[in-house]
Amino acid sequence: MSSPKTALVISAHAADFVWRCGGAIALHAQMGYQITVACLSFGERGESAKLWKEGKTLEQVKAIRRAEAEGAAQALGVHRLECFDLGDYPLHLEQADKMRLVDLIRAVQPSFMLSHSQYDPYNTDHMYTTQIALEARMIAQAWGHNPGEKVLGAPQLYLFEPHQTEQMGWKPDTFLDITPVWEKKRAAMEQMGGQVHLWDYYTRVAQQRANHFKRNSGGQSGGRDCTYAEAFQSIFPRTVDQL
């Protein structure tokens, strides 16, 4: 019996994997993929303003954000949620933290990976995470790193959509129809009680990307219908047998 296909999401903060690729997670989980989410921080300092305004302490904020992430992961069908708890604003990884991520990549052996845009002046934690993801991917491919372990192949790294796309130099080249799993993504978003203001925002983003999906799948001359979609930018060339 063949092993199930796998994928890895590397998320700077607790909610990033929900807003930006929750549909991709739920869709592939439904197809039988085992999805691992590496959550580098809970976003407790910079992405939990509502909780701070309520007078919560740091440990209370972190506990709430962890519970939100766990609830969202369950709603999406995540196979494994790995919380690194490295702090945010700024997010920083020591060498041991990087090696922990490399170990996770090798353990998962993902068919594809997802992370943030390469540039984000509004949130440097995001672009730092993708820099780390690329570095960890490179190390995981090296035969001389922990010889004897199974090395990583060449999984595509997809960059999910940032919050203000026009400022990020992010150019989508892949649109994914997430209509069949939209209710799962919306349920996961609603787990994020610390960022209620983003629930409807990312619903509108998904509806807008659905329009782009329809346009790029054939438009008015036979494009596929789509109600909700997510967009991604691929980093590496893709090898195909037909276009």
pLDDT along the chain (243 residues), means of 10: 90 97 98 98 96 96 97 98 98 98 98 98 97 98 98 98 93 97 98 93 97 88 89 93 84
Between CA 202 and CA 207 the distance in angstroms is 9
pLDDT of amino acid 185: 98
**6-234: what fold?**
Rossmann fold (3.40.50)
Whole-angstrom distance, CA of residue 91 vs CA of residue 99: 16
Q: What is the pLDDT of residue 59?
A: 97
Longest dimension (CA), the chain: 57
Write the Ramachandran bin of 5: left for phi over 0, alpha for psi from -120 to 50, otherwise beta.
beta
Can you give the residue ranges of every domain in the chain? 6-234
In this prediction the pTM is 0.96
